[in-house]
Amino acid sequence: MAAKGKVCVTGAGGYVASWLVKILLSNGYTVHGTVRDPHNEKNAHLKKLDKASENLKLFKVDLLDYHSLSAPISGCNGVFHVASPVPSSSVPDPEVQLMEPAVKGTLNVLKACSEANINRVVFVSSVAAVSMNPDWPKGQAKDETCWSDKEYCRRTNNWYCLSKTEAESEALKFAKISGLDVVTVCPTLILGPMLQSKTNASSLVLIKLLKEGYDELENRLRMIIDVRDLAEALQMTYEKPEAEGRYICTAHTIRSKDLVEILRRIYPKYNYPKKFTEGKEEEKICSEKLQKLGWQYRPLEDTLVDSVESYRQSGLLD
């Protein structure tokens, strides 16, 4: 494998970033990973990745401290900005706990990238920045032209959606003003095996579906992407010169009840929801732009089986 140059990945120890680091290392990149504490046990898995001893260097970074970003970013060709808080329940102080790290953190990363003449930044946004738009025409699939309505997010206390919408729109505004090449990727619910030891919010959604034994659950529409396919999409949007603007990244659209039926068929023994209430009508989300770039994804069953096997290995499931 020929050397591919040096890239920085922020929040390297997280669920998505760990897979991205793994794939980048296996494809010949040298990776600078930023973490809040390089010596924390929760980042230990990174050091065990193939080629990590030669080609991965971890840096202690606080996203809110602009100066801490220059060491990992300078000398890199590209940056993947992945770090952002993803809470699994509501937080007491959303301005401080969500908005600041997401928005100010992103602008700090982008300023450091501009300073270091980075060729391209790939920013991990979310479908949360796409879908919260009550004015979108009913029945029409949501694409990259759809933005979540910030006022609506604020009114409905949807702070995570607001943090991602604000961070992505500020990132694209910064790109326009500064000339920095920024591509954004908006994934839907991310599932698939975990490399890290600390359970992340989206894996918890599936774990709860398997073991919580809900009395009833809304039969809502779920849009799912495999973490490994997302990591490939992030690498692809970095490498393809023609990539530009926003990319929605999603693979499978399925109602919760049908998802549970697939799981129950393969793993009958778990404690599944007992009843489903009717789910509301929702517009589908379309990932055609990314597929036109050449991106492909794996079957849903593979994602589900590999997820469950990974939870079993980590002792999260029997």
Ligand X SMILES: NC(=O)c1ccc[n+]([C@@H]2O[C@H](COP(=O)([O-])OP(=O)(O)OC[C@H]3O[C@@H](n4cnc5c(N)ncnc54)[C@H](OP(=O)(O)O)[C@@H]3O)[C@@H](O)[C@H]2O)c1
CB 55 within 8 A of CB 70: no
- Across the beta sheet with 252-255, what order do the strands follow? 189-191, 221-226, 252-255
The least CB distance from residue 12 to ligand X, in Å, is: 7
164 as an active site residue: the answer is yes
Shortest Å, Cβ 254 to ligand X:
15
Q: How far apart are CA 173 and CA 133, in angstroms?
A: 20
DSSP assignment letter at 200: P
| CA dist., res. 311 & res. 149, Å (int) | 35
Say which DSSP state 129 is in: G
Query: Taking the CA of residue 115 as centre, how many other CA atoms within 13 Å lie in the half-sphere pointing to its CB?
Result: 14
Q: Which of 6, 51, 164, 269 is catalytic?
A: 164
- How far apart (Å, rounded) are the C-alpha atoms in residues 67 and 212? 44
Positions that interact with ligand X (CB under 6 A): 11, 13-17, 36, 63, 82-86, 101, 105, 124, 126, 164, 187, 189-190, 200, 202
Name residue, tokens 């500064």: 178
Question: DSSP letter string over 85-124?
Answer: ---SS--S-HIIIIIIIIIIHHHHHHHHHHHTT-SEEEEE
Name the residue with the smallest CB distance to ligand X.
Answer: 14
Question: In terms of CB distance, is 63 or 290 closer to ligand X?
Answer: 63
3-state secondary structure of 294: coil
- Structure-derived torsion over alpha carbons of residues 147, 148, 151, 156, reported in degrees to the nearest 10: 170
**Residue 234 near residue 80 (C-beta atoms within 8 A):** yes
Q: In angstroms, rounded to a whole number, what is the distance separating the alpha carbons of residues 181 and 277?
A: 45
Residue numbers annotated as active site: 164
